[in-house]
Amino acid sequence: MARHLASPIASLHALALVTAALFSSAPALAAPLDIQLGFASLPSAQGFTYSAVGAHAGVAEATVFSVSGGVLTQNTIGQSNGITGGSIFYQITGIVTTTEAKQIRVRARVLQSQGSANDVNGLAGLFFGFNTGAVQYGFGLTPTRVAYLGGGVMVLVAGTFDNSTLFHDYVFDWTPPNSWQIRRDGVLIQSGTTGFAFASSRLMFGDGSGGANAHAEITAYRFLQGVPTTSTEPTTWGSVKGLYR
């Protein structure tokens, strides 16, 4: 169990914090969301904002993220590590509600992870999650382990996995008010109710910690909110924005 996701999350850029505060006091949005990335371009060209904060402030997007052949590659190996505060990730603020069922679907593999004294197993080097207004939920991957976000700590799922040789499908299902499940290739590997108390409304993924780095490849990413999980029709970013005018 490694302690280091709380500090980088707390070191978000001031603008993101102001945005989160505005949405935390606003009524919950009820419009459905279905955000599906394609990897002919970076997520920053598809509505996500690239954010390098804390110990990683100033790190250029092109030095850690790239796309080729329908694959998004993240490589933060060798970046600042073991320092309190720091994240390199993509986010969209203000769209995640406190209610409505949510689901993250990811197809990925992790080629390498790098830990530190603050995150020995490198559990937050590749992280996928969201904030529901007051609590953040999510999961992390390494070449051999899966972890979930507890009360400010990344907690290991029991067992080891080959997350590096082939691409695997990971699904994080969240049911209000706070229940969640993690599935790997359709198999339930963890369920719980814990999360990290943090006031924000955002969707995010990438390197979530100043205490861990990762080299990973992602070939699919989708976020559903208030949409039946059997839905297969992707939504363009333009139409998603239209839901919130």
109-156: pLDDT as tens digits: 999 998 887 788 889 899 999 999 999 999 999 999 999 999 878 999
Domain housing 146: 6-230
In a domain, 238, yes or no: no
In a domain, 240, yes or no: no
Cβ atoms of 76 and 125 closer than 8 Å: yes
Gap between the Cα atoms of 120 and 225, Å rounded:
33
In a domain, 1, yes or no: no
In a domain, 222, yes or no: yes
> Which tens digit of pLDDT belongs to each residue from 47-83?
999 998 877 778 899 999 999 999 999 999 988 776 7
In a domain, 153, yes or no: yes
Cβ atoms of 219 and 108 closer than 8 Å: yes
In a domain, 11, yes or no: yes
DSSP reduced 3-state for 171? strand
Give the CATH number for residue 117.
Answer: 2.60.120.200
- Bridge partners (DSSP) listed for residue 96: none
DSSP state string for 46-73:
TT-EEEEEETTTT--HHHHEEEETTEEE
> Residue 230's pLDDT band (boundaries 50, 70, 90)?
low
